[in-house]
């Protein structure tokens, strides 16, 4: 499963590089998804380890919103 997380992180690093080099108005998350989708299309199937790793990330998605929620509560007066 570490190999699968490495693939996902590699796509994120590539997206950041592309956005910085091209100064693109497209959000880097969209570019990262396109890179991952293209790689999976060329491969022809989703590897089981990538499916498991992405499943773990999706199952725990709520934890990734905790910092954003805490930031909103700090500035609730401005909102």
pLDDT at 42: 87
Q: pLDDT (tens digit, 9 = 90+) per residue, 28-74? A: 788 888 887 888 888 877 778 888 888 888 898 888 888 888 888 88
Torsion angles phi and psi, residue 78, rounded to 5: -75, -25
DSSP state at residue 71: H
Please name which of 56, 14, 62 lies closest in space to residue 37, comparing C-alpha atoms: 14
Return the axis-axis angle of helices 28-43 and 2-22, rounded to nearest 10°: 130
């Amino acid at each position: 499963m570490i190999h699968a997380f490495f693939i996902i992180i590699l796509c994120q690093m590539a997206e950041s590089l592309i956005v910085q080099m091209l100064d693109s108005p497209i959000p880097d998350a969209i570019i990262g998804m396109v890179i991952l989708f293209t790689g999976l299309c060329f491969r022809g199937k989703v590897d089981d380890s990538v499916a498991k790793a992405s499943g773990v990330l999706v199952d725990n998605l709520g934890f990734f919103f905790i910092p954003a929620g805490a930031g909103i509560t700090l500035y609730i007066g401005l909102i």
